[in-house]
Amino acid sequence: MGNNNNNNNNNNNADSVYSALLGMTKKQVVETLGEGFNYYPDHLWIYEINKTWWGKKTVLLLTFNEENILEKTDTKHFFFELKI
């Protein structure tokens, strides 16, 4: 159980690093993180922020509102295929 709490703390720390992006417009996010492979009109953008040699990936999920302002950040860890 202690290990699980450490994982949750690591996720919260990663999310808090990217929470500085909250309130930014899509243009500001692109200026900060780069274009990535996101379709500009989508409300959900995904940035790969880490990849290990055995296929584990960490991605940053950015959720924008109708005014194209970033309202939520989240990080996900997965092997091979992301299921949202």
Q: What is the pLDDT of residues 26-60, one digit of tens each?
A: 999 999 999 889 999 999 999 999 999 888 999 99
Whether residue 11 is predicted with pLDDT greater than 60 in this model: the reply is no
Confidence of residue 84 (pLDDT cuts 50, 70, 90): low
Q: pLDDT value at position 82?
A: 62
Domains with residue ranges and CATH for the chain: 2-79 (3.30.1450)
Long-range contacts of 18-22 (CB under 8 A, 24+ apart): 18/60, 18/73, 18/75, 19/73, 21/62, 21/70, 21/73, 22/70, 22/71, 22/72, 22/73
